[in-house]
Structure 1
């Protein structure tokens, strides 16, 4: 009888211990490395005074090395969303699903982009880009949670994404070449994504790409919301992968067809260098103003979740012009 009780006690302890272990592991996986309180966020720790960020922390642009480098640049002038093009869709990640993003995106370029867009509809639409580029470029909006958002698109997202949308003071859409080789044209309707919309609960920061900063300290960058000096702009820089597998314009998970080069600028084996897209955003934000990036509720408006998407709808002739400018080392503007 004593042995039976001892065995029963042991079994109960193992079951309870296993349940506790599973609960701890589950919470760890759900919370990721940045898990915090149950508050909606952002947290105080999501902000940093840029004076405390070391100089030289901004990602460096590799200088051309070797005769095959494509050292040019192309700025595509698409405005700063003066048209007020916003929605809660994500054509790259959830095509056909209206409000599938669960947060609001801001756009430049193609003026028709929404969840129901197709290659054909993008090709036929108007654009905000001065040179006629019908590509679509978009990212989650930045808000002031201390102010109500009275306009329709400021309250339509829900899921804790509330407050006045801070309009972009400037938007720079730029393509750059490779520091080590010539680039080849992007295929029409190539889909691209950068950043990690679920970085707060992800197991690692491997896909965190966006960098925040202040216009007065261009050599400093952070993955936190920056506290800038009076008169400076808050900046966001989103760099896209630029190594295409030569086979697909999209892929499951939205990442495997378009990869980032190595730290030395070399593309992974089996991929080809295409023009590197950089979207640079700037905002007029007074010192001390709270900020909140639109996000999924469980991501708590973490600045690490910043991300952006694009669909290349340039004509073959337009893309050929971009490639020629990059490969010949010129600075061009369209």
Structure 2
């Protein structure tokens, strides 16, 4: 497969080194050992019971970007660059965690002294720079951001359900996690082999990340995020845009919204449909002048999401690259068999036009450590659409496709095309379908991706040939980290057509 070959430019404000150098093993990139799994597992006919605290699987850091509010426009580029550097620091710390298991087994304070302590110092220095940049630009930086410098290690089966509060702000919690109980020769022998890595040598997914779709209760998923935004009492029309399934093989590990000007800002690979000039260095002018894969040439919007991969041993084009195999994203990239992009209306009334270059991020690429407050993707199987899950990958019966559905925020603040944390300018509808005070309804983007994926097998607590969403390395390929991104680059005539169609109650394309 190909990739986006647009010439990379060095950002003026911040020069980011794209992650640590890969730790080569054989012909591939870094081997990301899975030093975790469920607390009760059966391996090779014998059962091992381990305390959840005995396996420090990943690095859990408070998400500084989500806490930043008052950032003047002229400081946003610098702040976004600093935040991207923090992401690289976490990636590097996770790499060190995954490759020092023998040292951890011999020293109960190794993780704290050699990984978490230095990481806190580096994060503190960046937070200080962020505060200085905000204040210099005329803003008022939060004096409490320093409290977010410390990180902790925690096991993979302990999801952070409440964001970064309480124990999530400390640096400790390592003593019983590094006492040798889970870091001994039983799978932690330092030779690169591990019984819990599914034979793939990467951190996730594991058997507990999957669920048989037949075991999911119908209509059990919380639909607070507006899964049915259009209703009989409001604007009931729809507008569909066909932009293909990335037939042009446009891939990169950038994130133009969250990390503009930063090479490999996402640390995972994205599929792109629509606009064909998507990378971290694309300006609004670049987007406006680009080609589009959409059938309606008036739609130059960019739609992108992390790729799914089948961990079947395939050496993909990025097997040795940052964002790919060098950061634990391995296996065959799976293109959707179908990508449905549809805009719908509001339960409570008419919608208004989106501003050009409006940016929306939905879901949270760091939900495993941040908590599920912003998690939004729904996983299901064709023929079982009434059974939806957010924190599991579905095991679908033969002939059924894996479905991946995301419904975006549909309330806009009426002023801004972006915000400092890339969220505050948008909101979900409230329980009655109305927008919060100060927000107005815009067409809601709904993305439905269908995949033909051979069903993984789960036996004796192991999953064979799993599929997984690309993720930040420390997020362990958890399904709850799935997310979706959109930049509106429709021309004015087409956007007005979308709004008129939806408000008239028609189905258009």
Whether TM-score is above 0.5 comes out as: yes
- Give the CA deviation at 1:63: 5.8
Find the counterpart in structure 1 of residue 467 from structure 2: 291
Equivalent-residue separation in structure 1 for 2:466 and 2:364 (angstroms): 22
- C-alpha displacement at 1:200, in angstroms? 0.6
Q: What's the offset of the Cα at 1:47?
A: 0.4
Q: 1:313 aligns with which of 480, 483, 489?
A: 489
Q: Does 1:206 align with 2:387?
A: no
Distance in 2 (alpha carbons) for counterparts of 1:284 and 1:206:
30
Q: Distance in 2 between matches of 1:154 and 1:332?
A: 41
Unaligned runs of 5+ in 1: 1-18
> Is 1:233 aligned with 2:383?
no
User: Quick check: 1:41 aligned with 2:204?
Assistant: yes
Aligned residue number for residue 384 of structure 2 = 217
1:252 aligned onto 2:420: yes
Matches within 5 A, 1:42-191: 42-57=205-220, 59=223, 61=228, 64-66=231-233, 69-132=234-297, 133-150=299-316, 152-153=317-318, 155-156=320-321, 157=323, 158-191=326-359
Q: Normalising to structure 2: TM-score of the pair?
A: 0.58
Q: CA deviation at 1:272?
A: 0.5
Q: 2:104 — aligned with what? A: none
1:81-114 residue CA offsets vs partner (Å, 9 max, x unmatched): 1111110111111011111111000010001111
Tell whether the 8 Å contact from 2:230 to 2:346 is kept in structure 1 after alignment.
no
Alpha-carbon deviation of 1:26?
Answer: 5.7
Whole-Å Cα distance in 1 between the matches of residues 471 and 229 of structure 2?
32
102-111 or 51-60, larger mean C-alpha shift? 51-60
Report the CA distance shift for 1:98/1:52 in structure 2 as closer, same or farther (over 3 A): same
Deviation readout 1:9-39 (Å, 9 max, x if unpaired): xxxxxxxxxx9xxx9x964789795169996
* Cα distance in 2 for residues equivalent to 1:71 and 1:55: 25
Task: Report how far residue 309 of structure 1 moved.
Answer: 0.6
Q: How many residues align?
A: 308
Mapped partners of 2:466, 2:477: distance in 1: 12
- Structure 1 position 126, deviation (Å): 0.4
User: Can you give the 5+ residue segments of structure 2 that lack an aligned partner in the other structure?
Assistant: 1-111, 118-149, 161-176, 183-195, 198-202, 457-464
Distance, in Å, in 2 between the alignment partners of 1:318 and 1:197 is 31
Equivalents in 1 of 2:495, 2:449: separation in Å? 23
Q: Over residues 144-195 of structure 1, what are the superposed CA-to-partner deviations in whole Å (9 max), with x where a residue is unaligned? A: 1122233x24543231111111111110111000011100000000000100
Q: Distance in 2 between matches of 1:221 and 1:242?
A: 21
Q: Distance in 2 between matches of 1:149 and 1:225?
A: 23
Is the alpha carbon distance of 1:155 and 1:175 closer, same or farther for their aligned partners in structure 2, counting shifts above 3 Å? farther
Alpha-carbon separation, structure 1, partners of 2:282 and 2:379: 30
DSSP-derived class of the 2:499 partner = helix
The 1:63–1:167 alpha-carbon spacing in structure 2 relative to 1, beyond 3 Å, is closer
Out of 492, 496, 502, which is 1:326 matched to? 502
- Greater relative CO, 1 or 2 (CA 8 Å, sep 6+): 1
Residue 15 (structure 1) aligns with: none
* RMSD value, Cα: 2.4
State the match for 2:58 in structure 1: none
2:421 aligns to what SS in structure 1? helix
Question: SS in structure 2 opposite 1:121?
Answer: helix
Q: Distance in 2 between matches of 1:26 and 1:309?
A: 27
